[in-house]
Amino acid sequence: MGGVTDDILMRVAEVFLVFPTLPLILAFTRIYIVAAGSTYWNVLGINIPVGLTIVITILGVFGWAGNARLVRGEFLRVKEFEFVKAAKALGADSRRIIFRHVLPNILSPIIVVSTLTIAYAILSEAGISFLGFGDPNAITWGQMMQESFVDIRIAWWTEVFPGLAVLWSVFGFNLLGDGLSDALNPRLRE
């Protein structure tokens, strides 16, 4: 690491980092809805809402760069540890060093950031839908909140419970990340 491939990947990541995700999603789903052809893709008998797929895809395509940079940074940090040098000096090849010595040591931050990313994605989707830019054909918590917003005075629960669902699932994914990274930490085992 630190070579040409690394340079190229990181420049690409930086390009993705500077894209404003939210306006892109808003624009793309609008374009889709205006130019709507079919509202569902039928894959193996399951109807997949196209607008929601666009939202998810954009969140994914523009969300990887931050995580990639974090993993790279952690990798570079652990790579310099003496046990990596020692492994190399005792005959380990690169594959072994990457998968056996470096990766397990950066698992904690990877897990934490992955679960945070899941939580962030749920939150983003809810926000987008709530603003009315989501896919009207998909049933999501954000969509539910958006649609029942007008009825909030007569049926408050239609607004509150989808909101609580978002809150709890985001919270749950955070806890999951913490728990997993603790469970994999040998210092806390025994």
Partner 1 sequence: MSENILEVEGLRTHFYTEAGVVLAVDGVSFNVLKGETLGLVGESGSGKSVTAISILRLVPRPGRIVEGKITFQGEDLLAKTEEEMRDIRGGKIAIIFQDPISSLNPVYTVESQLGDVINTHQRLSKEDVREKIAELLQMVGIPEPYVRMREYPHQFSGGMKQRVAVARALACEPDLLFADEPTTNLDVTIQAQVLGLMKDLKTSLGMSMVMITHDMGIVADITSRVVVLYAGRVCEIAPTSVLYERPRHPYTEALLAAVPRIDQRKKLAIIPGNIPNLISPPSGCRFHPRCPYAKETCKEKMPELEEIEPGHLVACYEWRNLSLNGVG
Number of residues that bind partner 1 (CB under 8 A): 21
Binding to partner 1, residues 1-30 (CB under 8 A): 2
Q: Which is nearer to partner 1, 81 or 156 (CB)?
A: 81
Going by C-alpha positions, the residue among 118, 109, 111 that lies closest to residue 171 is: 118
Instruction: Kindly state the tokens that stand for 1.
Output: 């690491």
Q: How far is the CB of 65 from partner 1 (least distance, A)?
A: 26
Q: Which is nearer to partner 1, 60 or 104 (CB)?
A: 104
Non-local (6+) Cβ contacts of 181 within 8 A are 107, 108, 109, 111, 112
Q: What is the pattern of x (binds partner 1, CB under 8 A) and - over residues 43-82?
A: --------------------------------------xx
Q: Please, where are the H alpha helices in 19-140?
A: 21-34, 50-61, 64-79, 82-89, 94-96, 107-130
Contact (Cβ atoms closer than 8 angstroms) between residue 13 and residue 62: no
Beta bridge partners of 40: 49
Q: How far is the CB of 7 from partner 1 (least distance, A)?
A: 14
Cα distance between the two ends of the chain: 35
Q: What is the pattern of x (binds partner 1, CB under 8 A) and - over residues 82-121?
A: xx-xxxxxxxxx--x---xx--xx----------------
Q: Which is nearer to partner 1, 2 or 45 (CB)?
A: 2
Non-local (6+) Cβ contacts of 8 within 8 A are none
> Residues interacting with partner 1, by CB under 8 A?
2, 81-83, 85-93, 96, 100-101, 104-105, 186-187, 189
